[in-house]
Structure 1
Amino acid sequence: MPFNLLLLPLLGGYIFSTFSNRTKWEVKRYEGQRLILYVSFWGTFFLFVSIILLNIPVLGDNFILSFKFLFKNFNVNRLNNLTEEQFAVSVLAFLLGAIAK
């Protein structure tokens, strides 16, 4: 997975950690590198959860098919010869981080 796809899970981890009732008070105290490490922990967590969810045959196939249907005009192969599965993992990690509370 190229490094530019890791920005979406990191952004999902930031959204989760700043808006979740459990973590938002801790995040307000953190600064700089500690905040980056805390957010990257949650981004990595959501990335692993999305990989596990997409490896379940029923969920993974349906999500990737709907992903191809929704973004058929967006040429994913333009971006460093990516596959749709790699891009779907990154987008699902972002969505999990943004929706989880």
Structure 2
Amino acid sequence: MSRTRVPLHELAHSRAGDKGNTLNISVILYRAEMYETVARQLTAERVAEAFSFRKPTRVTRYDLPELGAFNFVLENALEGGVNGSLGLDGHGKTLSFAMLQIPVEIGAG
């Protein structure tokens, strides 16, 4: 079987929120057996690159293997936060969709 590249939304769902100028995005896998495959590819560095348009100063990944999930914290990514940003999505809620567009490879290789 060959490897296939798919957007993350085929393997997981996500939720985003804010705390001041910090963006918090969770990624929850539909199938726990995909955890290691996604963990190898969805690194803090890769997420920082995918969100470079938001200019986070730091991205931290928290692993939640028992839940088949990850939590990413992107610092200084919300243009000052809900009260300071002119952006339409000051809370960062729709940014979970940006996370789910990141491609990952699945299948035997």
Q: What TM-score results when the alignment is normalised by the length of structure 1? A: 0.30
Structure with greater proportional strand content: 2
Structure with greater proportional helix content: 1
